[in-house]
Amino acid sequence: MEDYRARYEEWLNDPYFDEGTKAELKAIADDENEIKERFYMDLEFGTAGLRGIIGAGTNRMNIYVVRKATQGLANYILKVGAEAKGVAIAHDSRRMHDEFTECAALTLAANGIKAYVFDALRPTPELSYAVRHLGCIAGINITASHNPPEYNGYKVYWEDGAQITPPHDSGIMAEVKAITEYSACKTMDKQEAIDKGLYVVIGEEVDNDYLAELKKNVLHPEAIRDQARNLKIVYTPLHGTGLVPAVRVLKELGFENVIVVPEQEKPDGDFPTVSYPNPEAEEAFALGLKLAEETGADLVLATDPDADRLGVRVRDKEGVYHTLTGNMSGSLLADYEIGQTKALKGLPSDGLLIKTIVTTNLADAICKYYGVAEYECLTGFKWIGRQILKMENEKKGTYLFGFEESYGCLIGTHARDKDAIVAVMALCEAAAYYKTKDMTLWDAMLDLYERCGYYKDDIKSVGLAGIEGLQKIQQIMATLREEPLKELAGYKVLKVRDYQKDTILDLQTGTETDTGLPKSNVLYYEMTDDAWLCVRPSGTEPKIKFYYGVVGNSLEDADAKSEAFGAEVLAVIDEMLK
């Protein structure tokens, strides 16, 4: 009998698993492929924690998998002797959020570790803030970010408020992997945990302090006072966690015309108005744009379910709405925050912008324009958080701004993850400021392009699900390593960075240097005319991603060059998948 079959039978017959789980598994008894998909592997606890389809099985999100992950985390916390500090736990609006939150809290409590549990759904950045605010050793967030509704997930944070990085990620992963019996995972009665002070509910006090920290980042309160009643903002939380904090912070700052999309206002893990709640997707803006057209709104904002990512549409003076990609909104905010800080009080000599390797080179141009340093890190905001911690520990470097292409940025250091609530606040402030100059946000974007260059960035993703998909992704990466690209869309490759091998190969000189970053299964091609291509398997979805960027001498030129480059990328992918 195949291993997956043995595991399936074990879950059916072991008294440890509840009757609801067994009933779900009995219903698929005649579907061999479904049994295989659910049991051919354990849902991998990776550097981003867990993320998977909700359901019974070792390769699904359920209370047993969550309990096992939490027992592994507890074992690691006990090993490093930090159990006295406690763990903060939050969740978003996804299905099974209450069950997974309580399951994690009671496993921690059973191990003598206090769990600070939010009384209702909260944004990811507030969980990141709470970890440091409460002096916790770790944090757990029950969320699958922008994945489709059938998914949920489990992110782990360390005491600095960032998602786990070395050595803690590998240490926790090893502890989770070492648990071979689900029944070995501890739990306890909730009332007993409360009575022993091991289950503590948190809420309003953390909210108040979090929002107070956000408001410290306002640069032009006078612009808000001047324009708050004139600026119209349409906002959608996409059925997630953003509604209360985003609307509250805007109201407290004085913005009077915040219009929430009514159909998407309430938390709902089924996300009934979208196929998946991703602010990168056009469909996420359909209702918001309709409302904006009706009301003449200046901007349309959408946060994903855990409110760490922000999508943006801005209205020009002719009434046309323009999409700002994550690279564009991040660059616009970077320019505003750094430029206005410089104008108001001057920039620190050790000021630093941090971006990921797949983020636009427009960031480099902004740094050059203002004369500030830049640090480039691996994909994932945890690496930006890690760099902030390093600067704090070494007392060297002043954080100015950090962002990544996937619609996430951080203004301030109150959190160590991307924060869409502070981004909403800052973008509305910037809109008010530019309005005092008789400029729209689109005018500000065009001005930035004129000053720093018409950079255009895009991404092609190929979904390859299941066992076969995983093999195809590995095959593509292997092929690219064996047969490196030399040219693409008329651009010559100058250097190849292989983050798995920790090498940068200069194709002109043949010399090889280190990347200086942790190892990761990523390939990056530096090309002529500041063009680039980066290939990496997604860490959270069954996809392989091809990021790329070009520079034009106008918007139209940049668009044309990007389209041609993207077509070449797709041709390369098609060839490799044959």
For 321-339, give the secondary structure using H, E and C.
EEEECHHHHHHHHHHHHHH
The whole model's pTM is what?
0.94
The pLDDT score that the predictor gives to residue 1 is 43
Local structure of residue 164 (DSSP, 8 states): P
- CATH number of the domain within which 403 lies: 3.40.120.10
- CATH number of the domain within which 492 lies: 3.30.310.50
- 237 plus 291 within the same structural domain: yes
| 573 in a structural domain | yes
Tokens at residue 151, please? 């998914």
- 385 plus 481 within the same structural domain: no
Q: Domain range holding 65?
A: 41-209
State the DSSP string of 506-532. Answer: ETTT--EE---S---S-EEEEEGGG-E
Task: Give the distance, in angstroms, between the CA of residue 345 and the centroid of all CA atoms in the same chain.
Answer: 31
The pLDDT score that the predictor gives to residue 53 is 96
User: What is the count of structural domains for the chain?
Assistant: 3
State the DSSP string of 388-407. Answer: HHHHHHHT--EEEEEEETTT
- 299 plus 445 within the same structural domain: yes
Dihedral sign from CA coordinates of 473, 475, 476, 482: positive
- 316 plus 245 within the same structural domain: yes
Question: With 0-12 CB in 10 A as exposed, 13-18 as middle and 19+ as buried, what is 576?
Answer: middle
The pLDDT score that the predictor gives to residue 28 is 96
| 23 in a structural domain | no
- 464 plus 446 within the same structural domain: no
| 223 in a structural domain | no
The pLDDT score that the predictor gives to residue 2 is 62
Give the β-pairing of 351-356 and 373-377. parallel
Domain closes at, from 158, 174, 209: 209
- 517 plus 442 within the same structural domain: no
- 448 plus 465 within the same structural domain: no
**Could you read off the pLDDT of 245-301 as tens digits, one per residue?**
999 999 999 999 999 999 999 999 999 999 989 999 999 999 999 999 999 999 999
- DSSP run (H or E) holding 560: helix 555-577
> Low-confidence residues of the chain, pLDDT below 50?
1
| 216 in a structural domain | no
- 537 plus 445 within the same structural domain: no
Dihedral sign from CA coordinates of 489, 469, 53, 86: negative
State the DSSP string of 191-221. Answer: HHHHHTT-EEEE-HHHHHHHHHHHHTT-S-H
| 509 in a structural domain | yes
- 192 plus 284 within the same structural domain: no
| 344 in a structural domain | yes
Where residue 86 falls (left for φ over 0; alpha for ψ -120 to 50; beta otherwise) is left
* Continuous H helices in 40-118: 63-79, 97-110
410 Cβ contact list (under 8 Å, min separation 6): 125, 381, 384, 401, 402, 403, 416, 417, 418, 419, 422
- 359 plus 435 within the same structural domain: yes
**Could you read off the pLDDT of 501-554 as tens digits, one per residue?**
999 999 999 999 999 999 999 999 999 999 999 999 876 667 889 999 999 999
Distance CA 358, CA 532 (A): 9
- 400 plus 424 within the same structural domain: yes
| 214 in a structural domain | no
Strand partners, 463: 543
| 436 in a structural domain | yes
List the catalytic residues.
145
- 291 plus 408 within the same structural domain: yes
Distance CA 100, CA 556 (A): 49
